């Protein structure tokens, strides 16, 4: 039975995503430098996910590959991508896909509090965020965040990154479910899995959303 106006069951939320504080000081974006910490030998200690790869990281050097070299080379690590065409050049989207393959890239929005608002200046967390040119900026010109949605991220990975639609959808569904250890329950259409479904047209415009077979959005 499909309920067109279901009550939100907060048990459907899988958790809260909180970015860590292991950033390059020079590449910290909008993050307060007072909260940053130096990194440790994280991959061998169990790290499996690189937060928005390339952003907030020092550049890749042929003599000092650094964190980028480590996460791109190690198959134990999946790489998040902000595919808005601003945070990452299309060549980088394609390159990471070729290096990591279809199972080790994860699409994220990196949306902030001012996402979805019209262009303008907004005060959040004792600072001004500027919505302009399809992104969020600080007053000093630093890129602070994205206004990207996951449906547009999928579209951009197809049109800018050269992925097949199947692989782009996997990067927004099955791959993150696998990182969370939930791929036996969520992330793909298969017998016994949760009936969480998104229906969209050929231009990735979302038409209907179902959560546990309940009709949520049209």
Q: How far is CA 26 from CA 20, 29, 56, 127, 142, in A?
A: 16, 8, 8, 19, 11
Query: Look-up: residue for tokens 């009709």?
Result: 215
**Is 140 in the active site?**
no
Catalytic residue among 3, 73, 84, 110: 110
Secondary structure of 34-101 in HEC code, one letter for each residue: HHCCCCCCCCCCCCCEECCCCCCCCCCCCCCCHHHHHHHHCCCCEEEECCCCCCCCHHHHHHHHHHHC
SS3 at position 172:
helix
SS3 at position 178:
helix
Which are the catalytic amino acids? 110
């Amino acid at each position: 039975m499909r309920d067109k106006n279901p009550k939100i069951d907060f048990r459907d939320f899988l958790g809260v995503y909180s970015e860590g504080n292991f950033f390059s000081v020079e590449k910290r974006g909008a993050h307060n430098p007072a909260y940053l910490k130096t990194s440790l030998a994280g991959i061998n200690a169990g790290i499996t996910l690189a937060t928005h790869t390339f952003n907030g990281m020092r550049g890749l050097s042929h003599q000092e590959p650094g964190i980028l070299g480590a996460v791109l080379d190690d198959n134990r690590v999946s790489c998040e991508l902000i595919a808005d065409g601003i945070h990452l050049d299309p060549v980088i989207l394609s390159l990471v896909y070729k290096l990591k393959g279809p199972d080790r890239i994860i699409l994220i929005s990196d949306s902030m509090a001012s996402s979805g608002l019209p262009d303008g200046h907004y005060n959040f967390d004792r600072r001004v965020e500027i919505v302009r040119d399809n992104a969020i900026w600080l007053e000093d010109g630093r890129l602070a965040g994205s206004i990207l949605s996951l449906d547009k991220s999928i579209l951009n990975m197809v049109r800018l990154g050269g992925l097949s639609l199947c692989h782009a959808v996997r990067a927004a569904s099955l791959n993150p479910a696998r990182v969370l250890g939930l791929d036996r329950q969520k992330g793909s259409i298969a017998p016994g899995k949760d009936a969480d479904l998104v229906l969209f047209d050929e231009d990735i415009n979302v038409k209907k959303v179902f959560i546990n077979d309940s009709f949520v959005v049209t």
